[in-house]
């Protein structure tokens, strides 16, 4: 099983490196569980991981993002969502990694992202769906560069 939980201490380093007033994109690589796995006693029924991610996690994340937004620009903006077709790297250069989905999501700044995932509402309402639906995950934060 891969790393699926974002530890709040992990956010300190990118926050230190990123300009406070510049947009960022988060590049998500996601491998879904065949079936979402909720803890015993959870009120949520088992459904496919991909379905749980989109209908439960993303829907809840969107609500939380909107409720915490100081301005309309604080909400996240999906720039690209796609299904992974193939891994084009040979082993041992990452060729054994396998993901189902790639998402590129824009935020006004890194603080707008942190505001959501550091909230109690996220921890209670969205995180359980994320943990239940994702088998493996990679997350990269980037800023636009001039060429």
* pLDDT tens digits along 9-28: 688 889 999 998 999 999 99
- Provide CATH code, domain 8-142: 3.30.70.100
Two structure tokens written together for 8 = 């709040």
If one counts every other C-beta atom within 10 angstroms of the C-beta of residue 75, the result is 17
Give the separation between CA 41 and CA 46, rounded to whole angstroms.
Answer: 12
Instruction: Answer yes or no: pTM beyond 0.85.
Output: yes
> Residues 80-105, buried b or exposed e (16+ Cβ, 10 A)?
eeeeeeeeeeeeeeeeeeebbbebbb
Give the separation between CA 77 and CA 83, rounded to whole angstroms.
Answer: 18
Mean pLDDT of 42-65: 96
Enumerate the domain spans of the chain. Answer: 8-142
Q: Which run of H or E residues covers position 82?
A: strand 77-83
pLDDT of residue 1: 46
Give the separation between CA 62 and CA 93, rounded to whole angstroms.
Answer: 35
> Residues 112-131, buried b or exposed e (16+ Cβ, 10 A)?
bbbbbbebeebeebbbbbbb
Residue 125 confidence (pLDDT) above 90:
yes
Closest C-alpha to 112, from 5, 9, 21, 16: 21
pLDDT of residue 2: 56
If one counts every other C-beta atom within 10 angstroms of the C-beta of residue 8, the result is 11
């Amino acid at each position: 099983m891969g790393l699926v939980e974002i530890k709040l201490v992990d956010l300190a380093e990118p926050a230190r490196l990123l300009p406070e007033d510049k947009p960022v994109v988060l590049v998500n690589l996601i491998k879904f569980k065949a079936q979402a796995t909720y803890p015993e006693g959870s009120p949520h029924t088992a459904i496919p991981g991909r379905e749980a991610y989109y209908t439960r996690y993303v829907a809840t994340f969107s609500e939380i993002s909107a409720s915490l937004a100081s301005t309309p620009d604080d909400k996240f903006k999906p720039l690209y969502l796609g299904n992974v077709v193939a891994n084009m790297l040979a082993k041992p250069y990452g060729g054994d990694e396998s993901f189902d989905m790639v998402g590129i999501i824009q935020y006004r700044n890194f603080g707008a992202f942190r505001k959501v995932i550091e909230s109690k509402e996220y921890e209670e309402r969205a995180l359980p769906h994320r943990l239940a639906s994702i088998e493996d995950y990679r997350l990269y934060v980037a800023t636009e560069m001039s060429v």
